[in-house]
A and B are shown apart, each in its own frame.
Chain A
Amino acid sequence: DIQMTQSPASLSASLGETVTIECRASEDIYNGLAWYQQKPGKSPQLLIYNANSLHTGVPSRFSGSGSGTQYSLKINSLQSEDVASYFCQQYYNYPLTFGSGTKLEIK
């Protein structure tokens, strides 16, 4: 199975700041990576797919990058509505696996 190691587990930042969340795969996943946002009490929502493609309707302050085994999600100009947990998911191979999540809070 491909293990997805996500960091940090939690993050506190100020409004307007830029934050970065990392995801490392245990083997090359050839950009088969998605990022999801999950607000408290809600289901996950797709943000990024193919490592760097923005899903329809997602604000452009979200961006994804990376290749091979290392990937990251960047949020520019942090806003209050970005308070959520963020998860990466690899879909290069079965079983589909997720990172353990990053909980983002506002300072």
Chain B
Amino acid sequence: EVQLVESGGGLVQPGRSMKLSCAASGFTFNNYDMAWVCQAPKKGLEWVATISYDGSSTYYRDSVKGRFTISRDNAKSTLYLQMDSLRSEDTATYYCARRANWDWYFDFWGPGTMVTVSS
């Protein structure tokens, strides 16, 4: 059974950093591209970043470029999101999602981890 479990969320002050993790199981992690998608409270979904199966390619939405870094450790079947210079508008639930085989839609999502940026 495919499982994605995020961790590392919580309350953080503006300007500080936080690192999210997503532990994957039930599939061959290093065969799949992965992504982070966020959802602000009571709002819609917003793509954050994607990474290729081997970590060689990454893409980011403009609002997080230079502040967030997506990475992966295939030996540990774990996806990461390093978030620096956090802003109040980054407050959201962050979901780890698996890219479907052939295109950039997402066939499995984790339950999410909440990040609150506030002083």
A residues near B (Cβ < 8 Å) are 32, 34, 36, 42-46, 49-50, 55, 87, 89, 91, 94-101
Instruction: Please classify the interface of chain A as helix (H, G, I), strand (E, B), loop, or mixed, using the class held by over half of its residues.
Output: loop
With contacts A44-B106, A91-B104, A94-B59 known, what are 16 further pairs, Cβ within 8 A? Answer: A34-B105, A34-B106, A43-B110, A43-B111, A43-B112, A45-B109, A46-B100, A46-B105, A46-B108, A87-B44, A89-B105, A95-B47, A95-B59, A96-B35, A98-B44, A98-B46
B35, B47, B111, most chain A CB atoms within 10 A: B47
Top 6 A-B pairs ranked by shortest CB distance? A34-B105, A91-B104, A96-B47, A43-B109, A98-B45, A100-B44
Alpha-carbon gap, A36 to B44, bound state (A): 12
Alpha-carbon gap, A99 to B112, bound state (A): 19
**B83 vs chain A, min Cβ distance (A):** 18
B residues near A (Cβ < 8 Å) are 35, 44-47, 50, 59, 61-62, 95, 100, 103-112
Pairs A–B under 8 Å by Cβ, sample size 29: A32-B103, A34-B105, A36-B45, A36-B106, A43-B95, A43-B112, A44-B45, A46-B100, A46-B105, A46-B106, A46-B108, A49-B105, A50-B103, A87-B44, A89-B45, A91-B103, A91-B104, A91-B105, A95-B47, A95-B59, A95-B61, A95-B62, A96-B35, A96-B47, A97-B47, A98-B46, A98-B47, A101-B44, A101-B45
Query: Given A97-B47, A99-B44, does the pair A44, B109 have CB atoms closer than 8 Å?
Result: yes
B44, B61, B107, most chain A CB atoms within 10 A: B44
